[in-house]
Amino acid sequence: MISVIKIMEGIYFIRQNNPVHPLSTSNGFLITPSAIKGGNNTDFQESLLLDVNIEEVGWISLRNFCYDSDIPLPTKLIMSHCHLDHSSHVHLFVEIFGGQVYAPAPEVPVILEENGFFEVYQIHEMNEFPDLMDSYHHLKYEILQFGTIPERKVTPYHIGTVFNYDTIKIETIPLTSHSPGHVGFRIDTPHNEIRIFHNSCLGLDQSEIESKDGPPKDGFGPWYGFKASKLNSYLKDIDKSEEILQDCDILTSSHGIIYYKSRFKMRPIHGKTDFVRTLPESSELESPFEYMNRKIHERETKIVSALEKLGFQKTDIPNILKSEQTLRNLLDMDLIYSKYRIPSKQLAAYKFWERYLIINNLKHLTTQ
């Protein structure tokens, strides 16, 4: 039910196979005392998780993996942010492992309160989308089985916090264009001189490799479908990630492939192994960062040609942004989601996200 890749002694990457919904799970790390222990902190006997959100079968499977491998159970989970694909099953971590959850302060209400999601992510467009609440409710509770977490089990942390252990340092890096508290993780293991950069949910979501030497299959790409998202900042966060990777050996993300620089070797030890590959070194091959930029650019090109079809030019964008009717027309053109494929009960949520993906692309076009 889960796949496990051993990155180095004491550090494993965890991914749940076959989730119930594309927004159900998030990949992340299991870090065990053999990576944490050493130096003065020889008492550390617990494992910790980074950005892992898996379904009940996944948590059980992770527990069994720990038992079978003689790894102490994780007691801490450090979240990257609280979007549903990262928070929906975290309450089960608290129930099954008795664990403590560390969440970025700006997004803590999402996991504590039933309505926190709507407040933190500023979802108030109920007039434009009368079914939005029902649609979210269906997705959040019926499909994803979301549960809140008791306050005493949640520790807020400030974005930028460094979780410092004797032999491992986990730095939270603000990548807040994706959501108000979204962070990536830079993991340093000074004794082993291995550095990992996990860019969380920024949009590196190619999860399948078609052939050994061929390019990976496109995923959805960067997601900026809420009111507060700003594409200019998003592009800067992508550049920032690229810079951070320069002195790291491994690049991971919540929804995609593990990329490693060629000098490094990893060991798949459980489940699927086909999502690990070397980082493209040739400039002819698309880099992970070029992939994210391309996905944004492709959406923009589609939107511009849709505007042309509707008889508008780029200079009309400020007016289009004020016209609910034109935004509705753009939405009906299925530019981003193939909405005929989306089950009717989930449709309002997808339309809401697409509306903001379009609006944020339009706003960005006005700055070009």
Residue 214 CB contacts under 8 Å (≥ 6 apart), including other chains: none
Based on CB atoms, which residue is closest to Zn ion, 85 or 242? Answer: 85
Ordered alpha helix ranges (H), the chain: 33-36, 56-69, 84-87, 90-97, 108-112, 116-120, 132-137, 231-245, 288-309, 317-320, 324-332, 347-366
Smallest distance from Zn ion to CB 123, Å: 14
Q: Are 325 and 109 in contact (CB under 8 A)?
A: no
Q: How far apart are alpha carbons 273 and 63 in whole angstroms?
A: 20
Nearest in space to 268 (alpha carbons), one of 49, 6, 89: 6
Distance CA 203, CA 68 (A): 33
Query: Closest-CB residue for Zn ion?
Result: 201
Instruction: Give the C-alpha distances (Å, rounded to integers) separating 243 from 179, 239, 247.
Output: 20, 6, 8
Q: How near is the Cβ of 42 to Zn ion at its closest, in Å?
A: 36
What is the nearest approach in angstroms of Zn ion to the Cβ of residue 53?
A: 9
Q: Considering beta carbons, is residue 8 or 258 the nearer one to Zn ion?
A: 258
Residue 324 Cβ vs Zn ion, minimum distance, rounded to whole Å: 27
Specify the residue, 255 or 320, whose C-beta has the smaller distance to Zn ion: 255
User: Which residue, 194 or 359, is less far from Zn ion as judged by CB?
Assistant: 359
Residue 336 exposed, middle or buried by CB count within 10 Å (0-12, 13-18, 19+): buried
Q: How far is the CB of 25 from Zn ion (least distance, A)?
A: 9
**Residue 198, class by beta-carbon neighbours within 10 Å (0-12 exposed, 13-18 middle, 19+ buried)?**
buried
Q: In this structure, what are the phi and psi dihedrals at residue 158, rounded to the nearest 5 degrees?
A: -80, 140
For Zn ion, the closer of residues 32 and 80 by Cβ is 80
Q: How far is the CB of 288 from Zn ion (least distance, A)?
A: 16
Give 88 or 100: the residue with its C-beta nearer to Zn ion: 88
Amino acid at 50: L
CB of 51 to Zn ion, least distance (A): 9
In the complex, the residues that contact Zn ion under the rule CB under 5 A are: 83, 85, 201, 254
**Under 8 Å between Cβ of 183 and 172:** yes
| Nearer to Zn ion among residue 55 and residue 249 (C-beta) | 55
